[in-house]
Amino acid sequence: MTRLPRLLAFIAACTISALAIAQSQDPPATAEAAEAVETPAPQAEQDAPAADPAGESTGKPSSKPYVDLRRAKPIAGNAAAGQAKSELCAACHGPQGISPVPTFPNLAGQRADFLYWQLVEFKRNPDSPMSPLVAELSNQDMLDFAAYYAGLAPTATPAEPDADVEAEAAPADATLARRGEQIYMSGDPSRGIPPCQGCHGPDAGGHVNALHADRDGHAPYAAYPALRGQQAIYLQTKLAEYRNGKMRDSTTDFVMTGVGERLDDDSIDALSAWLSSLPPGP
C-alpha cells in the first residue's frame, strides 16, 4: 500500500482537471436524451459489444457523442485472463475487488455488462480519473476485466482500510439509513423521485431483468448496476455527478441523470448510508 498516497495525489490532480473541463462544457441535453431512451433507436442497431465500441481500429472514438446501450447484447469475457492482468487495478480496487478506500468503487460481484460499459466510457471520455488507466486497454482486456470482477464473491473480506480516509467516513446513522431505505423502496413523491428498486432491483443487486435477453438477443437492462454494499462516499459522489448533469456518456447515463436531478443532499446522504450498510452480494 506504499503506492497509495501517490495514487491518491494522482487522482486528485486528475479530478481537478476533470472539473475544469466539465465546467467549460455546455449543460447536457438530458431531457431530449431521456426522451430518446423511451423510443426505439432510429439508427442501425448496435451489435454491442463485438465490433469496435471504443473506436480501436480507427484510433479515435466513435463519432457518436454517447454510447447507445438500448440494444446492447450481453457481453462475454475471460475471467482468468482478467485476473492475470489485474495487478494494477488491485492498488485501488483491492485484490478481491473490494476497495480499501471509500472514494473508489467496489467491483466484486458487480454486473459484468455495467463494468464493461463503464470501461468503454472511460476510454471515450478523458474526464474520469480512470481514463488514463484504460487508455492502453484493448476491447478484449475490458471484456476480461468485466468477467473477472463480476465473478468475484462480493462478500470477499475488505482489504485493510486506509486509516486517514476511514476517519473521514462517518458511520452510517440508523435514522438516516432508514430514510434511505424508504426512498429506495417507495421513492419520494413530494420531490418526484421514483423508487430506485424499479431499476436497481428490490435487493439492490441490479435490474430484475438484467439477465433476460429479448428474442433479438438484446439485454437492455444488463448494464443497470448493483448498488448494495457499495462504498458510501463513492455513492455520494456518483449521485451528485448525475444530479449535476456531469454523466453524459451513454443512454444509461441519461436514464440515471433523470433521477439524479431530483435528489437533494439529504436524500443522497440517506440513500448512500442505507445502500452502503447492506451486506454486499445477493
Judged by CB under 6 A, the chain residues 60 through 99 that form the site for ligand HEC are 88-89, 91-93
Binding status of residue 147 toward ligand HEC by CB under 6 A: no
The backbone region for 111, taken as left when phi is positive above 0, alpha when psi lies in -120 to 50, beta otherwise, is beta
- Measured from the CB atom, is 177 or 239 closer to ligand HEC? 239
Nearest to 105, CA basis, from 138, 140, 154: 154
Q: Which of 115, 192, 104 has the alpha carbon at shortest distance from 152? A: 115
Asked if residue 123 binds ligand HEC (CB under 6 A), the reply is: no
**Does residue 109 belong to the site contacting ligand HEC (CB under 6 A)?**
no
Which of 48, 54, 98, 107 is close enough to bind ligand HEC by CB under 6 A?
Answer: 107
Nearest to 166 by CA among 233, 222, 228, 220: 233
Q: 420531490: which residue's cell?
A: 191
Is 71 or 145 the residue whose CB approaches ligand HEC more closely? 145
HSE (side-chain half, CA atoms, 13 Å) at 20: 6
Measured in whole angstroms, the distance separating CA 152 from the mean position of its chain's CA atoms is 17
CA 105, distance to chain mean position in Å, is 8
Q: Which of 239, 270, 273, 280 binds ligand HEC (CB under 6 A)?
A: 239
Examine residue 105 and tell whether it contacts ligand HEC (CB under 6 A): yes
Binding mask 247-276 for ligand HEC (x = CB under 6 A): x--x-xx-xx--x-----------x-----
Helix (H) or strand (E) holding 15: helix 4-23
| 280/204 Cα distance (integer angstroms) | 9
**Residue 248 cell numbers, joined:** 453524459
Give the interface segment with ligand HEC, choosing from 21-29, 44-52, 55-63, 193-201 (CB under 6 A). Answer: 193-201
For ligand HEC, the closer CB: 104 or 179: 104
The answer to whether 116 and 146 have CB atoms below 8 angstroms apart is yes
Contacting range for ligand HEC; rule: CB under 6 A; set: 26-34, 150-158, 159-167, 227-235: 227-235
* Binding positions for ligand HEC, rule: CB under 6 A: 7, 11, 88-89, 91-93, 104-105, 107, 110, 115, 118-119, 128-130, 133, 145, 183, 193-194, 196, 198-200, 224-225, 227, 230, 235, 238-239, 247, 250, 252-253, 255-256, 259, 271
